[in-house]
Chains A and B, each alone.
Chain A
Amino acid sequence: MHLDLETRTRKDYIREQKSLHGRKVMGVFPAQYPRELLLAMNILPVEIWDPPLRTREASAHLQSYICSVVSLGLELILQGKCSDLDAFLFPHTCDSIQNLASIVNDYLGIHKPCYFFYHPKAPYKRASRPYYISQLKELKSGLEKQFGELRETDLKRSVDRWEEIRKDISKCYLLRSEGRLNTSNRAFYSILRRVEYLHPDDFHPLLTNFLQSGRTETERQGHGVLLSGVLPNPPEVLDHLDAIGVRVVDDDLLSCSRRFLSGPVSNSDPYEAMAETYFSLPPCSTRGSAIEERLNHILKKIRSSRADGVIFLIVKFCEPEFFDVPILADSLKKEGIPVLVLENEINQALSGQIVTRIEAFAEMLG
């Protein structure tokens, strides 16, 4: 099972999901969306973060100052690689994704249904939560027109399931930060990121297996860093950290902990529960959290994971992240925590310059 998933491509997996399980497949753009709702309707969300492509067609639609997450996402559509998808979902993450959504829906004429999800932006008010719930319900009724009725019991089951998975993801993070998970940086993220397209039936066993097999009682060796930014990309950065013995002990990545590590759910109503999950997620630039809040969150993580430094891996042209970084970096440095800011395209090969920076940073850690 484990091995099988390793070797199968995402494309094969999607086709199999459709043919074997009769599932519909939704292409989902970053970052926050109610996956429980989709899964309850037997729709498999396949997230589009970093397709392994080169920009070719997208530059006819997007300026050169648009980030590679957005341009490669569009590239995937333009190169006709989305034929297996039944629809798209665009969460309202940033200006570029917002306009990408509108280009796809209004201008491209690709005849694929597009759904949108607007999540309220902090600072949250009393009005935010009811609005979030109304958005969930509107998305649901929109989807029902294409995918058939959603049964409340299915939704409840799906919400519970996702909570179980989130608990195990949290456990992975906890063990890793305590140094009790024997895994490479690369392996950790390659397992975790399978959540972006695997069905819970496949993802959850993979995760629990990873948890059980990786448990160790030996102390952490070498230096530990906290990774912040959007994605753990390019993955060669992880490889290089592995190679020089630097362990990622925790993260503040948008695609990872910032979407998964929410608090426990107490509400039995599934919509209330989903809202509870959303509003208890860690501070995030794309949801409007105050910089102070994010800083305190990172500091807390640094203390609990005994990280020696912080690496910001920022996708070039990513506005939400680049506005936060100077204050975060400055404040961390004032606390005596070394900081490295790397700016790169998501699929860019590791340049000699980035290698040098990473190594010089590791030298600074002592």
Chain B
Amino acid sequence: MKGWVIGIDVGSLTTDAVIMDEDKRVLSFSIVDTGYNSTDAAREAMTVAAGRAGLELEDVSRLVATGYGRAAVPEANKRVTEIACHAAGAVYLFPDTEMVIDIGGQDSKVIKVGKDGRVQDFVMNDKCAAGTGRFLEVMSAKLKIPLDGMGDISISARGEAAISSVCTVFAESEVVSLVARNCPKEEIVKGIHRSVVNRVWAMTRQLRVSGGVTMTGGVAKNRGVVALMEERVGRRINVPDEPQIVGALGAALFALREK
């Protein structure tokens, strides 16, 4: 096989690689922990992905890096921001996409995409952990509920606890007192999800919702958050099977584009 490319997304929590051929077919992907050394993590992700596709890394024709650690990939032919990559990846998966909502571990962003797949405008949270995966992580630890189980728990909730504080530390203490008052866990979790959605919604509003909305990033796997977000934007939201690798996918598309 000739002319295949790699897109790599070095994020703060995980590093993802996607291998794609000239016909824009995904051959394989990998997700590894970033750990302390981004360069090592990038190599590991690429090796794993290449192994899965049965390819030799030396044969890669082009490599594009994205994510916070994009500068730490010395082999990269080009570096592109994750904003452009999420946009490109989302449009590839769902061609009707005009808005991308990416809720990642450290930050969240909302991207407005043109028909050509190019970024028209974007907003990123600039406050703190509020409205990010990190917020969910802190709360899941507090409630002793695994992160990937939170979505299903909240779907079963009948009521919803009110969590008003924007600050993660304040919200944490609100959760503690809800627990102390024996508020059902699922209602607390739903309240936590609502808080994340409200923060992200404030960003979404700034860009005015239109067309198809696609959610990317690890939090898109959380059905509870997606459901509340759909309620808020008033339309169905596209969710990829592997929302975490959309950035790397976009990077691979950039690699093909430049060939």
> A and B: direct contact (Cβ < 8 Å)?
yes
* A interface residue numbers (CB < 8 A to B): 333, 338-339, 342-343, 352-353, 356-357, 359-360, 363-364
Q: A343-B126, A363-B84 are in contact. Are A356 and B119 (CB under 8 A)?
A: no
Closest chain A CB from B78 CB (angstroms): 11
Q: Are A356 and B126 in contact (CB under 8 A)?
A: no
Known contacts A356-B124, A357-B83; 9 further A-B pairs (Cβ under 8 A): A333-B121, A342-B126, A352-B68, A353-B107, A356-B81, A357-B122, A364-B118, A364-B119, A364-B122
B122-148 contact mask (Cβ, 8 Å, vs A): 1 or 0:
101010000000000000000000000
Residues of chain B lying within 8 A (CB to CB) of residue A338? 121
A sample of 10 cross-chain residue pairs with beta-carbon separation below 8 angstroms, ordered by A number, consists of A352-B12, A353-B106, A353-B124, A359-B81, A360-B81, A360-B122, A363-B80, A363-B83, A363-B119, A364-B119
- The smallest beta-carbon distance between B56 and chain A, in angstroms, is 31
Question: Which chain B positions have C-beta within 8 A of A363?
Answer: 80-81, 83-84, 119
Q: Which residues of B contact A342 (CB under 8 A)?
A: 126
Chain A binding surface, main DSSP class: helix
Question: What's the Cα separation between A357 and B121 when bound, in Å?
Answer: 11
A residues less than 8 Å from B107 (CB atoms): 353
Q: By CB atoms of chain A within 10 A, which of B12, B82, B124 has the most?
A: B124
A309 CB, min distance to chain B CBs, angstroms: 11
Contact of B119 among A333, A343, A352, A360 (CB under 8 A): A360
Contact B82 A356 (CB under 8 A): yes
Q: Does B120 contact A (CB under 8 A)?
A: yes
What CA separation (Å) do A339 and B121 show in the bound complex?
A: 8
Complex interface: chain A residues within 8 A of B80 (CB): 363
- Is A357 a contact of B124 with CB atoms below 8 Å? yes
* A338→B124 CA distance, assembly (Å): 15
- Whose C-beta in chain B lies nearest to the C-beta of A329? B206
Query: Which of A333, A338, A360: most chain B CB closer than 10 A?
Result: A360
B126-A353 in contact (CB<8A): yes
Which residues of chain A have C-beta atoms less than 8 A from B84's C-beta?
A: 360, 363
Residues of B within 8 A of A359 (CB): 81
> Whole-angstrom distance from the CB of A129 to the nearest CB of chain B?
40
> CA–CA, A338 to B121, complex, Å?
7
What residues on A are CB-neighbors of B12 within 8 Å? 352
Please, how many angstroms separate the alpha-carbon atoms of A352 and B107 in the complex?
11
